Amino acid sequence: MALKCYPLQPGGLLAIEAVALGLTSPKSVYDETLMNFPVIMLLMFMVAGIYFMKEFLLFTFTKILLSVRSKIILSFLFSLVAAVLSAFLDALTVTAVIITVAYGFYGVYHKVASGKPSIKHIIFSKKMRTNLARIQNKNSSHLNHF
């Protein structure tokens, strides 16, 4: 998952190309990779963490968006949340959080704008219709006895 989000494969291909073209030695590529391995691991785990926190982030930002009526206070709260995130996370992770929240908002907008129900809604509606028909049949049989 994280490998798809960050340019680890292209970076590796660039390193192989640099060695093939004679721009660097395999030893220097190995040393640089070894020195930057903690950063690579940080990026991979932060992307995985953001992916698993996607619903929580969307819930939090949606609560902020829907509970505040003033545009000025809303912009201040979004800036405050961004500042708190920036204080504890690196810039790339904050950008990933912002992209995740924006993508979540777009997903909600797209569901509403398209007018098509989600698959959960369709399944729920089928169950409701089945239960409603069964209840109506049961009630109509009771009414026939009167």
* pLDDT tier at 117, thresholds 50, 70, 90: low
Instruction: Write down the pTM of the prediction.
Output: 0.52
Question: For the residues 33-38, what does the mean pLDDT come to?
Answer: 88
- In the chain, the amino acid numbered 10 is P
Cα dihedral across residues 89, 90, 96, 98: positive or negative: positive
Calculate the average pLDDT of the chain.
78
In the block, tokens 């940080």 appear at 42
65-110 per-position pLDDT tens digit = 888 888 999 889 888 888 888 888 777 778 888 888 888 888 888 8
Alpha helices (H) in 68-118, listed in sequence order: 71-88, 91-114
CA distance 13 to 33: 13
Burial grade of 61 (CB within 10 A; 0-12, 13-18, 19 or more)? buried
Residue 25 has pLDDT above 90, yes or no: yes
